[in-house]
A = this chain, B = another copy of it.
Amino acid sequence: MEVYEAIRRRVAVREFKPEPVPEPIVRKILLAARWAPSQRNRQPWRLVVVQDKDTLAKIGALASTGGFIAQAPLAIAVVMDTTRMVQFDAARAIENMILTAWAEGVGTCYVGGIDRDAVKELLGVPEEMELITVMPFGFPTDDALAGGKRRKPLEEIAFRERFGQPYV
């Protein structure tokens, strides 16, 4: 799938078919994170691939806005060294993973509401590291693909030469 097409069409997916994500796709998603840029090329990310049903159910129960993780066939926990640009670097790797998954027909979404300390303990993440999120992955149900994307018009967000001067 072409880059812009993936960016344009991708939606957040919270409902997954039960079938597993094939291993070559899992690997490609991990590699997409690996190839992300990071501050001074520190590559501060670690990715914990979870496919065990019991662990997925436990993570789902720990995620106030991500109960659907329990129904996903796969989740990837994104863990970071606590560098200065931890959120920024994590987001770049995450965006790469989202787009690569989408190009393979696999949906995911960012989960914000999650008991990070409890998930860290569950997955054995060292205390000094930061758990950013746990992202569920799976093939979207038809319902999950029904929604569109709403965005502000370009003229509200893009300016020419100076802030406030319309781009369009």
Q: Give the residue of B52, B94, B161, B162 whose beta carbon is less than 8 angstroms from that of A92.
A: B94
A152 and B95 contacting across the interface, CB-CB below 8 Å: no
- A window 109-132: CB within 8 A of B: 109-110, 112, 123-126
Q: How far is the CA of A110 from the CA of B113 in the complex (A)?
A: 29
Decide if A16 is an interface residue (CB 8 Å cutoff).
no
> A99's contact among B7, B85, B123, B162, by CB below 8 Å, is which?
B7
Q: Which residues of B contact A151 (CB under 8 A)?
A: 34-35, 43
Contact residues in B for A50 (Cβ distance below 8 Å): 161
- Contact: B124 with A162, CB < 8 Å? yes
Is A163 within 8 A of B8, CB to CB? no
> Is A144 engaged at the interface, CB distance under 8 Å to the other chain?
no
A: number of interface residues (CB 8 Å): 68
Top-3 shortest CB links A-B: A91-B91, A3-B103, A95-B95
Partner among B10, B100, B112, B157 whose Cβ is within 8 Å of the Cβ of A7? B100
Choose from B1, B34, B52, B163 the contact partner of A152 (Cβ within 8 Å). B34
> What are 20 A-B pairs with beta-carbon distances under 8 A?
A3-B6, A3-B99, A3-B102, A4-B31, A8-B35, A27-B154, A43-B157, A45-B157, A49-B160, A49-B161, A85-B112, A87-B87, A87-B91, A91-B91, A92-B94, A95-B95, A95-B96, A123-B163, A124-B162, A126-B163
Given known A-B contacts A7-B100, A91-B87, A124 and B43 have beta carbons under 8 A apart: no
- Interfacial chain B residues near A149, Cβ < 8 Å: 35
What residues of chain B lie closer than 8 Å to A28, measured between beta carbons? 4
